[in-house]
Structure 1
C-alpha cells in the first residue's frame, strides 16, 4: 500500500446460489425512500450519530456510546469559487477529492455520521490484500448455507482464489465473498477487529464498523471525510486499483453449476470513458451510498456520496455531476487536504491534526441551492460569492 493516511493534516436475501448475470452497471432496484432536495445539514444534525433507523435492523442491540467528536469543520456546503453544486442530487453528505494530491475540492457535512452500506467493504478488501495471498485457493464446505444480503454466487463445494473472491466482493458487492474472506482471515470477530484497527491506522475519526460487509447494525457509522481517507489509501494499492478498474470476470461455478460472468456494478465506471472504479452501496437505513472516480488527462478525482436517493438520478449520475463540477476547479484551488503519512515523528504532547484543513471565511447564503449557511472557500484571496446552479448533465457514453 503506497498511501498511508494515518492522520489527516490540517485538513438482501439469503443467497447460496449465484445471482443472475447482472447487466453492466446494474444497481439495486428502485426503493421507496424519496426526497425532493438534499437534506439541510448546516446545524450538524448527525454530528454524533447517523439518522434514526427506519427499519428494525438495529433494534436487537443497544447502540454503543457515540464516538468522540473532534471536528470544528462546518456541516454545510464547503466549496471554492468555480465549483457549482449540482442541483440534480439528493446526498446528505459528500466530498470530492484528488486521489493523488489529497486536495479536497469541495464537501458537504464532511464529518456528519452516516451508515456506509457496502462502500465500507473497502476495509475488508484492504485487510485481505495485506494478509492473504491472491493465488491462495479456498474450498467452500459442503454445509455452506449462504449469507444475508447481496451475493456474487459462492456455492458449497466450490473452489475460489482469494483474488476471485476479492473481485466478487468489489465488483458485485458479494456478502458471500466477504464471509469466505473473513473466515480465511480468522473469523468474524478477528476480521472486525482488523478492519477497525485499519480504519484507525488510516486516520478516521467517525468510523465504527460493526459489519465488515456493510449491513446495518447498532453503532455502525462513517463519514464522507473518513471514506475519502479510506479510498485514497485504497487507490494507493495497485491490486485494489486494478480490481475496481475491471469490467467483468469469469467467475467459477460449483457442483453442477457452470461458471458465469460477473460484471462491475459501478455504472460510473461502466458508462463514463474516464471512470476508474469505486464501490456501490445500499441498505434500507443507509439509503444509497457511492464512491466513484475518474482519470481525466492524468488528474484522478473521486467523489463520495452518503445517504442519497434516486430522485435526482442514480447515485453514479449524481457522482458524475459532482466530478464534472470539480474538474472545473483549477488544481490548488480546493478547500483543504487529506494527509499522507509522514516519516517525521510527532512532537511529544502535540495535539493531533484535524482531518480536514479548512479556514472559515465570512458566512454566506444561497437561496437557489435550498441550503442556508453554506461556507464558500476561495484561495488566498478573501471569501467569494456562492455560485450554485444547474450542473450540465453529461451525455452517457458506453465504456469501450
Structure 2
C-alpha cells in the first residue's frame, strides 16, 4: 500500500507540474531566470574594457574604474567595473543619497559625544544643538566629516536604521556590489563597493538638487559654539578642472585612493569613478574626463548604467558564476563575483497559482492517507 501511494503521488505530482508548465507563458517557463552582469555582459571583464573606433582610455594606477555618460547612462570604458573594493569615503555618497530625501534639512541636530569623537577626517563637531541637517550634509560631502556622517545617522534614528536604509537604497539603485557597514566609509569587515556602483550612486545623487549643490560648493561657513568658521571642499578638481561639478574622493591605508566625480562640457556630463588607486589620482581623473568627452557619441558603449528598480518590482541579488580571484581588496582579500538580479515571478494569483495550490492540496491528502494507514498497521503489530 505504501509503495502504491508513493507511486501514485509521484505520478500525480509529475502530471500536475506538467500541466502547470503547459499553461505557463514561455517567459515564465524559463524562470527562474538570471540576468547577465548588471550593465551588460561586457562589464563582467576583469581587465581593460575599451570600445573600438577610438583611442584607448588613458592609463591609470587604479585597479578599477568606470567612465560613463551621465545623460544616456552609456559606459564608455571600464576596468574591473564590478570588482569589490573598500570604498573609503566615497561611500558617503550613498549616505547622502539615502538621507537627503528622508531628513528635513532645517532640522536641528545635537550630535552625541561618540559622534563627535569619531576617528579619521572630521569637521570638528561638538555635542551642542547648533547644527542643521543642511550643515551636516555640507560637512559630509565637502570635508568628508566622519563625525558628520555619524551625527546624520543619529538624526535618522540611529546607526542600525541608517545602515538598513543605505543597503536598501543600494538594492533599489541596483548597486548589488555595495554593502554598507558604516555611514562614513571607514573600513569595516564586509564593507565593499565597486566602480560601477559608485557611478550609479553618483548619477542618482546628481539628480537631487541638494546633493548637486553640496558637492559643487567650494567653500562654506560652518557653525561653531561662538559663530562660524570656513570649510573648503576636499575635491581638488573643483579648483582645477573646468566644468567640474564635484562629488567625492576617499582614502584609507587599506582602501587606498578612491574617487567618483562628474564634470559638464557643452551641455553634456561625464562621470568617472576609480577605486584602489596607489598614487595621486587627480591628474589621471582629469585625463579620463577629457577622454570621456572626446569619446562620447563616437565610441560604441561597452555597457550601461542601469536605472533604479521600479517601486513595485521585486529584484533579488544573487551570486552567479565562480568566485573571481586576483582583484585584491585592500587588506589582502580578493574581489567577489558581481551580484546580479534574479527576475521575480508573481505566483500569488492567477491560474498557475490555483493549479499549484490544488496540486499541493491533493498531494498532501495522499500523504496523510498513507500516514494514517501506516499508523493503523503499526497499532495492530
Q: TM-score of the superposition, structure 1-length normalised?
A: 0.65
Alignment-derived partner of residue 368 in structure 2 = none
Structure 2 stretches of 5 or more lacking a match? 1-35, 320-381
Cα RMSD for the two superposed structures: 2.7
Pick the aligned partner of 2:306 from 331, 336, 339.
339
- Superposition pairs for residues 231-246 of structure 1, below 5 Å? 231-246=202-217
Change (3 A) 1:77 1:118: same
Q: Deviations over 1:127-177 (max 9, x none)?
A: 221211011111345787511111011113251110110000000000010
Shift of 1:341: 4.0
Change (3 A) 1:207 1:246: same
Alignment-derived partner of residue 228 in structure 1 = 199
Shift of 1:253: 0.8
Alignment-derived partner of residue 390 in structure 1 = none
Higher normalized helix content (fraction of residues): 2
Alignment-derived partner of residue 263 in structure 2 = 294
Please say if residues 115 and 148 of structure 2, whose CA atoms lie closer than 8 Å, have aligned partners that are also in contact.
no
Alignment-derived partner of residue 295 in structure 2 = 329
Shift of 1:190: 1.4
Q: Deviations over 1:201-233 (max 9, x none)?
A: 110121111122111111111111111111111
- Superposition pairs for residues 178-197 of structure 1, below 5 Å? 178-197=149-168
Please say if residues 158 and 253 of structure 1, whose CA atoms lie closer than 8 Å, have aligned partners that are also in contact.
no
CA distance in 1 between partners of 2:164 and 2:87 (Å): 18
| Structure number with bigger Rg | 2
Please say if residues 294 and 300 of structure 1, whose CA atoms lie closer than 8 Å, have aligned partners that are also in contact.
yes
Alignment-derived partner of residue 138 in structure 2 = 167
Shift of 1:273: 1.9
Change (3 A) 1:300 1:180: same
How many residues align? The count is 282
Find out whether 1:206 has 2:173 as its counterpart: no
CA distance in 2 between partners of 1:208 and 1:344 (Å): 21
Find out whether 1:253 has 2:224 as its counterpart: yes
Which has the bigger relative contact order, CA under 8 A and spacing at least 6? 1
CA distance in 2 between partners of 1:217 and 1:339 (Å): 27
Alignment-derived partner of residue 244 in structure 2 = 275
Secondary structure of 1:130's partner? Answer: coil
- Superposition pairs for residues 93-112 of structure 1, below 5 Å? 93-112=64-83
CA distance in 2 between partners of 1:98 and 1:123 (Å): 20
Alignment-derived partner of residue 28 in structure 1 = none
Structure 1 stretches of 5 or more lacking a match? 1-6, 12-69, 355-400
CA distance in 1 between partners of 2:231 and 2:311 (Å): 44
Secondary structure of 1:302's partner? Answer: strand
Find out whether 1:307 has 2:276 as its counterpart: yes
Secondary structure of 2:105's partner? Answer: coil
Q: TM-score of the superposition, structure 2-length normalised?
A: 0.69
Alignment-derived partner of residue 49 in structure 1 = none
Please say if residues 266 and 316 of structure 1, whose CA atoms lie closer than 8 Å, have aligned partners that are also in contact.
no
CA distance in 2 between partners of 1:179 and 1:292 (Å): 23
Please say if residues 260 and 274 of structure 2, whose CA atoms lie closer than 8 Å, have aligned partners that are also in contact.
yes
Shift of 1:83: 3.8
Alignment-derived partner of residue 285 in structure 2 = 319
Pick the aligned partner of 1:85 from 38, 57, 60.
57
Secondary structure of 1:105's partner? Answer: strand
